[in-house]
Amino acid sequence: MRKILLFSSLLIISITAYCQSPASTEILKVKWFTIQEAEKLTRQDPRPLFIDTYTDWCGWCKKMDRETFTNSVISDILNSKYYPVKFNAEGKDSVSFFGHTFINDGKSGNAHQLAVALLGGQLSYPTVVFLIPQKDGQLKIQQVPGFREPKDMEILLSYFADKAYTTQSFDDFQKSFQGKIK
């Protein structure tokens, strides 16, 4: 009787483990691009760029990586409606972006020239930047500083991806927004 009970328990555990395949428990991850890859992709198939400017020492940046960008709704929106970019605002490599070369020359403390340009000189981390291609070839730029919970990030991402910014204020959009994250 003991052997049958032990065998049955092992069989149930084995079946349970087998049914939980990695695909069913895997978190959808954001496919991050370099800024150069995103520029090339947006020239081929125009889509907004979402740039997460961060630093290695920023605790709120790491919290947003862990809690916001791992949310399946957020990663799905970023992967399907944007070219998401992670950009180290204190990186040392030169970066060519839309015909300009940016370096970290030390003139803005540890900040890279591209971070200074993207953030309009307001160096606060994390800050997400939306770069939206316009019909005239220009880029609309919008910086949003600070940590965002998944629910708040969903609203922001939807506002720009759905081009609601062209017809209503963010406050009005936010009041009527029905998101997937509760």
Strand partners, 140: 132
**Both structure tokens of 81:** 């409606």
Q: What is the pLDDT of residue 4?
A: 43
Q: Find residue 86's DSSP bridge partners.
A: 52
Q: What average pLDDT does the chain have?
A: 86
More confident residue, 85 or 16: 85
Q: What is the pLDDT of residues 53-73, one digit of tens each?
A: 999 999 999 999 999 999 999
Q: With bands split at pLDDT 50, 70 and 90, how would you rate the model's confidence at 135? A: confident
The rounded distance, in Å, linking the Cα atoms of 158 and 23 is 27
Render the chain in DSSP notation, one character per residue. Answer: -HHHHHHHHHHHHHHHHHHS-HHHHPPPPP--B-HHHHHHHHHHS---EEEEEE-TT-HHHHHHHHHTTTSHHHHHHHHHH-EEEEEETT--S-EEETTEEE---STTTT--HHHHHHTTT---SSEEEEEEE-TTS-EEEEEEES---HHHHHHHHHHHHTTGGGTS-HHHHHHH---S--
- Render pLDDT for 86-105 as a digit per residue (tens, 0 to 9): 999 999 999 999 899 999 99
Q: What is the percent of the chain where pLDDT is above 90?
A: 75
Which residues are within 8 A (CB) of 125 and not within 5 positions of it... i.e. 6 or more apart?
53, 54, 55, 58, 60, 61, 89
**Under a CB-based contact definition with an 8 Å cutoff, are residues 127 and 144 in contact?**
yes
Beta-carbon contacts of 153 under 8 Å, excluding residues fewer than 6 positions away, are 68, 71, 74
Mean local confidence (pLDDT), 112-117 = 96
What pLDDT was estimated at residue 27?
56
User: At residue 20, does pLDDT exceed 50?
Assistant: no
The pLDDT value recorded for residue 14 is 36
19 pLDDT higher than 70: no
Q: Is 74 exposed, middle or buried (0-12, 13-18, 19+ CB in 10 A)?
A: buried
Going from the N-terminus, what domains does the chain have, and what CATH number goes with each? 25-176 (3.40.30.10)
Q: How confident is the model at residue 84 (pLDDT cuts 50, 70, 90)?
A: very high
pLDDT above 70: percentage of residues in the chain: 85
Give the pLDDT confidence score for residue 133 in this predicted structure: 83
